[in-house]
Homo-oligomer: A and B are copies of this chain.
């Protein structure tokens, strides 16, 4: 299995992996900061959806346009907005399941040449579709592990 296939596989599995990582946590646990000045588990999970909405959009722009502008977003400010801070997780779980079904279908339909298509990220510069895939597949995994690690540390 190639690295790329591996990244796509992780995107397919992410919604269940995140749901499993948060399974059984109380609202109080979900709203506990994971460190000094750090996000809560609830914020991390809502943030994963915000990140992946942006990733899905960027990847579609790259495939349907020539060197599109890819707009960064201010993740900390988004995570401080009410829906990113205190919305029940079910909203994001449903969003992620639907989004990742469509995203996976899209990713699995691409041709070899699509993967070297490029966008211009206004913070990072030129990125290929492969770069975006790697960034966001890894990003989702990393945050899932962050939740698992914090639960272990807290004995939850």
- Identify the A interface with B (CB < 8 A): 46, 49-50, 53-54, 56-57, 60-61, 63-65, 67-71, 73-74, 77-78, 81-84, 87, 90-99, 101-103, 105-106, 109, 118, 120-127
A106 to B57, CA, bound (A): 20
A106 to B85, CA, bound (A): 10
A99 to B94, CA, bound (A): 8
> How many monomers of this protein are in the complex?
4
Interface of A is mostly: helix
12 A–B contacts from the bound complex (CB under 8 Å):
A46-B102, A50-B60, A65-B77, A67-B123, A81-B109, A91-B105, A94-B94, A94-B95, A95-B97, A98-B98, A120-B125, A125-B127
For A83, the chain B residues whose CB sits under 8 A away are 101-103, 105-106, 109
CB-CB nearest in chain B for A69: B71
- Rounded to whole Å, the gap between the CB of A142 and the closest CB of chain B is 22
